[in-house]
């Protein structure tokens, strides 16, 4: 049986705590059998969303959008082409449910006009797509979140709230970390 050591991806403080203990940290393998040795199995690749709270807060502040709007943009990006009826089927809160206000904010383009509203087709425009693409780039680690107050509204000391300060501390830590190899495959 081949064991793949997962300790190298743990935080240094965790590695220190585990040193000298008889605990092996290994990736889950479908062929694993029970053993009397103590193992901690971790799953590789399921940490893609671990920093979603920081990335989400940055994207929301940068583009002045709500979490509900970001969720809708992500859903519409996956749909590629949609109708107004398809938009109305997306679960959303009341403030984000207004089609006209969503369209007026400039997130969608009409790609096929029709005299019947239900038959018109839409897609995300450049503005909407760029928000979603940027969200994924920061989430995967492909791009680092800016720490400069001119590029990151959360970094501006005059406008910071305690929540923003904590997020900025985390952003600084994240930017120093190397992107794990399994996340690099997301942006090749």
Q: What is the CATH number of domain 52-176?
A: 1.10.10.10
CB atoms within 10 A of CB 142: 16
pTM exceeds cut of 0.75: no
39 beta partners: 24
Q: Can you tell me the distance from the alpha carbon of 12 to that of 25, in angstroms, rounded to the nearest whole number? A: 14
Note the pLDDT of residue 178. Answer: 76
Note the pLDDT of residue 28. Answer: 58
Beta carbons of 25 and 3 less than 8 angstroms apart: no
Chain center to CA of 82: 23
Element (H, E) at 42: strand 39-42
CB atoms within 10 A of CB 11: 9
Element (H, E) at 66: none
Note the pLDDT of residue 2. Answer: 47
Beta carbons of 138 and 183 less than 8 angstroms apart: no
Distances (CA, A) of 33 to 5, 28, 37: 16, 11, 11
Note the pLDDT of residue 131. Answer: 94
Note the pLDDT of residue 54. Answer: 86
Mean pLDDT by 10 residues, the chain (188 residues): 58 74 64 54 63 88 90 90 86 70 85 82 91 89 82 75 76 78 62
Q: Which residues make Cβ contacts (< 8 Å) with residue 184, sequence separation at least 6? A: 141
Q: Can you tell me the distance from the alpha carbon of 40 to that of 57, in angstroms, rounded to the nearest whole number? A: 32
Note the pLDDT of residue 129. Answer: 92
Note the pLDDT of residue 135. Answer: 92
Q: Where are the domains of the chain?
A: 7-42, 52-176
């Amino acid at each position: 049986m081949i064991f793949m050591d997962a300790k190298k991806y743990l935080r240094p403080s965790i590695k220190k705590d585990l040193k000298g203990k008889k605990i092996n940290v290994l990736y889950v393998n479908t062929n694993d059998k029970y053993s009397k040795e103590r193992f901690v199995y971790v799953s590789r690749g399921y940490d893609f969303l671990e920093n979603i709270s920081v990335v989400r807060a940055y994207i929301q502040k940068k583009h002045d959008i709500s979490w509900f709007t970001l969720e809708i943009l992500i859903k519409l990006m996956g749909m590629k082409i949609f109708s107004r009826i398809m938009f109305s089927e997306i679960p959303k809160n009341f403030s984000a449910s207004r089609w006209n206000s969503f369209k007026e904010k400039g997130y969608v383009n009409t790609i096929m006009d029709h005299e019947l509203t239900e038959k018109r087709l839409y897609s995300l425009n450049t503005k909407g797509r760029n928000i979603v693409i940027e969200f994924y780039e920061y989430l995967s680690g492909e791009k680092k979140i800016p720490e400069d107050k001119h590029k990151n509204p959360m970094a501006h000391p005059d406008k910071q709230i305690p929540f923003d300060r904590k997020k900025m501390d985390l952003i600084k830590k994240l930017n120093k970390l190397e992107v794990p190899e399994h996340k690099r495959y997301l942006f090749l």
